[in-house]
A and B are shown apart, each in its own frame.
Chain A
Amino acid sequence: MDVLGRYRNLIVLVGVLFAQVLGLAVQVKRTTDGESTHLIRIWAVGAVTPLEKLLGWTQTSTSNIWHNYFYLRGVRAENRSLKTQIEQMRLEQVRMSQDADQARRLQALLGFKEQFISQTMAAQVIGSSGSEQSRSVYIDKGEHDGIKPDMAVITADGIVGKVLSVYRSTALVLLINDHSSGVGAILDKTRLQGIVRGTPAGEVTLERVMSDETVPAGEQVLTSGGDGIFPKGLLVGRVTKVSPGTELFLDIHVRPAADLSKLEEVLVVTKIDERQAQPDHVGAARAVDILAERLPGVPQKPASTDKAATPGADVVTTGSGAPKVAGSEVKPKSAPPQASAGNGTAAATKPVKTASAPANSAGTKPAGPAGTAPLVNATATNGTKPSAKPVKAAIEPKPQPAVEDAPH
C-alpha cells in the first residue's frame, strides 16, 4: 500500500499512457478510422470551429467594407484593363471552342463519355489542422449544405484536395500535399500518367512515371480522372524538378498551381456529370461574329450576294433564309488553327463576304466554316488589325484571289 502511494504518480502516468497506446492500437488495427473516434472529433471540431467561423466572418465583412466602399482607387483603370483582357480572352475562346468542338465530335464518333463539373459550391477556409503532420483545412460548409466525403475541392488556379470528413456545418479537406493523399494525374504534353502524392515535408511529387521516360521541367500536370474524385483535365501544377528515382521510377517534383498555404476561398465540386460526348450543333461564338459586333455601320447586303463565289465552301440556303455552309457542323474544310496561323493566309475574307448578306435575314450569325479560327490565328500571329479585311470584304463582295482562301 505504501509502495502504491509512493509511486502513485508514476503508476497513473503508465496507466494513462497505456490507455492511449491501446486506443491508438485499436485505430491502427481498423483500416477505416472514424467510427471509434468520431465523437471526440465532433466535440473538438464543435469547440474550435465556431470561433474560427466567427473570426472568418468578421474578417470577410471588414475586408468587404474596405474594398467595396473605401478602397476604390484605381477601379476605373482596372476596369479598362479588364475589358481589354476580356476582348483578348473572347478571341482566345473562339480558337479553343473550335478545338473543343472538334474534340467533342471525335469523342462522339468513338463513343467516349465525358466528365464535366456541373455544380460547385463556394466555401470559405476557416481553419487548419494546426499540425505539420496533417495538411488539411476546415471549410465553412458541411453536411447541412450537401457536402459529402470524397468531393473534389478546387480553386480557379488548380485543385486543392478532397473532402475527408464532414461535420454538421464544417468539413475537413485533405490537401494534395499531405502525405496520405493521392491524385490520378497525367502530364499535359507527354501524356504520361502517374499519381500525385504529398510528402511528409509537405511537397508534391508525381510518382509511377518510368525512369526511361523524358519529362521536361515546366510541363503541366493535369488530373487524369482515374481516381474517381477529380474530373479529368483540371490543373494540378507544374513540374519543377526531375531526377532519377531510387527504383524504376522518376522522382518528379511538382509545384501545385493553387497556393495551398494561403487558401481563403475554395470551390467544392458537388456534382460531376458524365455523359456521351455530343458534337456542338449550336456552334461556338466565332471570330467573325465578335468582330462584326465591334464594327460600326457595316452596310447590309442584298440577299443576292448569298452566292458570292467562295471556293472551297458550298453555300446552302436553308428554309429560314439563313445560309448554311455545307459541313458547317463538321467543318471538314477548316484549316487546323495552327496550320493557318503559321501560313498567315487571310482565309477569313471569303467567308465573311458570304456571311454579310445573311445578317439581314437571319439576324446576326453568318456561317462560314473556313473563316473563323484561321482569322483569329492569323490575327494573333501576324499582328494585323482584325477588322480591316472583313470590313472590306463586307462592302465589296468581289471574289478574292484563290490564294487567300485556300484552306489546307
Chain B
Amino acid sequence: MAITYTSGEQVEVYRFSIPATILIPLGAVFLQAWLPLRFPFFSIFDLPLLVTIGFATARRNPLAGLFTGGLIGILQDALTHQMIGLYGIAKTVVGFGASSLGIKLDVENAGARFLLTIFFYVVHKVVYFMIARGLAGLRMAWSWPHEILSCLANALLGVLVFMLLDRVKQRT
C-alpha cells in the first residue's frame, strides 16, 4: 500500500509496442461499447479511462500521456451522439496528470494503483461534469451512491487491468 516518493532516475520507464499501443486502447473502447449490451452492469466501468491511466503511469511521459488520453477520449466521444471533446478533454487531463504523478511516485504495487485509480476517476468525473454542464450545457445527473460504487468498482478493475498491461509493457 506504500506510495513512495522517488526521483526521476529511480523510476523505471516502460514503453509499449506499436501493435499494443494501437490495439489495447481500441480494444478497451470496443469492450466498453459491446459489453454493456450483454452485461448491463458493466456500464459503471470506464475501461478506456483505466487504459489511459495504465499507459500514462507506465510510460511516465506527460506528452505521451496527454496525447494517448486525448485520442482515447475522442474515440470514445465519436461513438456517442454527443459533442466530440467531452471525454477528450477529461482524458487529456487524466493522461497528463497520471504520467506526471508516475514520475514522482512508485505506482508498481496494487495498493498504490488502487488509490491512483480512485483519484483519477474523481478527476475525470469532475472535469467531464464541468465541461459537459458548463460548456456544452448538457443536463447531468450526479448520484453520490452511484459515483462511489462506480469509483470503487473501477479502482478494483484498474488493479487487474494494470496487471495485464504489465505483461505487455517493455522496459526501455
Contact = CB atoms under 8 A, between A and B. Distances in A.
Contacts of B93: 13, 17
B84 A37 contact: yes
B89 A48 contact: no
A28 B83 contact: yes
A179 interface: yes
Nearest to A165: B81
Contact of B138 (A12, A133, A136): A133
A130 B76 contact: yes
Contact of A48 (B29, B87, B136): B29
A298 interface: no
B85 A20 contact: yes
Interface string A246-281: 000000000000000111000000000000000000
Contacts of A133: 80, 82, 86, 132, 138, 140
Contacts of A130: 29, 32-33, 36, 43, 48, 76, 79-80
Nearest to B40: A261
B67 interface: yes
A47 B26 contact: yes
Contacts, number: 142
A20 B87 CA distance: 10
B92 interface: yes
Task: Determine chain B's interface SS by DSSP, over half rule.
Answer: helix
Interface in B89-119: 89, 92-93, 96, 100
Q: Chain A binding site: helix, strand, loop or mixed by DSSP? A: mixed
Contacts of B70: 16, 20
Contacts of A12: 63, 66
A51 B34 CA distance: 10
Interface in B42-81: 43-44, 48, 62-63, 66-67, 70, 74-76, 78-81
Interface in A182-220: 199-201
Most buried by B among A12, A52, A128, A174: A128
A45 B36 contact: no
B83 A9 contact: no
Given A52-B33, A52-B34, A174 B78 contact: no
Contacts of B82: 131, 133-134
Contacts of A75: none
Closest 9 CB pairs of A and B: A44-B78, A134-B80, A200-B141, A130-B32, A130-B33, A24-B85, A261-B40, A201-B141, A9-B62
